[in-house]
Amino acid sequence: MKENLLIVGAGTYAVVASEIAADMGCFGKIDFVDDQRKETPNGVAVIGTTQELGILAGEYSAIAVAIGNPRVRLSLLERIRSETAYRIVSLISPRAYVSRTARVMEGCIVEPMAVVHTGCVLSDGCILSAGAVVNHESVCGAGVHVDCNATVEGYASVPAQTKVCCGSVYRKTE
């Protein structure tokens, strides 16, 4: 029997996350909670708010946070970790490349065509957008977002909550 997944957030990141989760093929049902939206941009109804996480835990065992603001994303992950029994999952597109020597921590989202190369670490709550490359032996701190077609240079250490903007290169500091 497949686990049911609850996605916290109902914006564009949440829609992307739900598509990745569906492509992964390991979830029975995928639904959304959000404190402001009543439906996702593609018209899927939101089933509740974050205040109802405890009530929903009987039906959903897995949870992912798909919110763009890294401070809010990490705060929600910590709240879920400390107050609930949900299993925080990372959503990794089957069309992404993640090296077998890379470590992807809890609550990450890795979109299609992203690359997590040899020896990399994605700390909790990282987002790698389509086409992002985290090159060998790099570390992304908690809540980092490497946006579309951005690159983290090999051996770099990206500080927590940093956004590496579309098309840019984050270079290691000496």
In the structure, what pLDDT confidence band is assigned to residue 174 with cuts at 50, 70 and 90? low
| pLDDT at position 1 | 76
| pLDDT at position 35 | 97
Q: CATH classification of 90-166, choosing from 1.10.10.10, 2.60.120.10, 2.160.10.10, 2.40.50.140?
A: 2.160.10.10
Question: Domain spanning 3-89: which CATH class is it, in words?
Answer: alpha beta
Residue 31 to residue 9: CA distance in whole angstroms: 10
Could you give the strand order of the β-sheet that contains 62-65, starting from the edge strand earlier in sequence? 27-33, 3-8, 62-65, 87-88
Residue 87 to residue 134: CA distance in whole angstroms: 26
| Continuous segment of H or E residues that includes residue 30 | strand 27-33
DSSP3 helix / strand / coil % (the chain, rounded to 5): 20, 30, 50
Q: Are strands 97-98 and 145-146 parallel, antiparallel or unpaired?
A: unpaired
Domain span(s) for CATH 3.40.50.20 in the chain: 3-89
Tokens of 54: 């405890």
Tens digits of per-residue pLDDT, 9-67? 999 999 999 999 999 999 999 999 999 999 999 999 999 999 999 999 999 999 999 99
Q: Residue range 147-153: average pLDDT?
A: 98
Query: Residue 57 to residues 52, 66, 144: CA-CA distances in angstroms?
Result: 9, 18, 28
Q: What pTM was estimated for this model as a whole?
A: 0.96
In the structure, what pLDDT confidence band is assigned to residue 136 with cuts at 50, 70 and 90? very high
DSSP-assigned letters across all residues of 155-167: T-EEPTT-EE-TT
* Closest to 86 in 3D by CA, of 64, 103, 70, 108: 64
Domain span(s) for CATH 2.160.10.10 in the chain: 90-166
Q: Residue range 148-173: average pLDDT?
A: 96
